[in-house]
Amino acid sequence: MAKNDAVSVLHATLDHRRRIDIPGYNRILLHPATRFIGTMNYGYAGTRELNEALVSRFMVIDMPEMDEDSVLFVLRQHFPDGEKSALKAFAGLFLDLQIKAYHGEISTKSLDLRGLVSAVKATRSGLSPIDAIQMGIINKSFDVFEKEIVEDVVSTRIPSSWTGKDIWG
């Protein structure tokens, strides 16, 4: 969340006043069609609680955790030529890590869909799937014990014997 002086500017911008007041500068009136979209990864490292005054100025859409269909949808959008069984294994890996994070067994650092997509993409360039997952998922955690848990989860989904052919046919 932004610092308090920035948040006070946001309050006037987001409520009925619809203006930006910056001390020492002009007042900026917002066009009536101006809209703001804010996003927040609740529970993500470095994220703080929002104060009530700021939250009251937004309509909130609560996004559910991803399920298998939504993870597979993302993977298929990025990799339509990927083997279905391989994409299903990668989706299962993400969901297993999501469960571990939900139960507090690991932090959310390794629960990284972008990292997973990047890892799968790296296998196209010749990196082995297990090495790609090591760099894109496992190495996101710097805690030795957490890293071991993530490695164990990976080993249940992604065989160390896999090559790019297992993903790309």
Mean pLDDT of 20-41: 85
- On the question of pLDDT at 140 being above 90, the answer is yes
- On the question of pLDDT at 150 being above 80, the answer is yes
Same domain, yes or no: 73 and 127: yes
The token duo for 70 is 């939504």
Domain assignment present for residue 60? The answer is: no
Mean pLDDT of 102-124: 94
Domain assignment present for residue 26? The answer is: yes
Residue with the larger pLDDT of the pair 81 and 42: 81
In this prediction the pTM is 0.75
Q: Say how far apart CA 146 and CA 21 lie, in whole Å.
A: 46
Sorting pLDDT into bands at 50, 70 and 90, what band is 43?
low
Please give the pLDDT value at position 153: 98
Same domain, yes or no: 40 and 78: no
Q: E strands, the chain, where?
A: 19-21, 27-29
Q: Say how far apart CA 114 and CA 91 lie, in whole Å.
A: 12
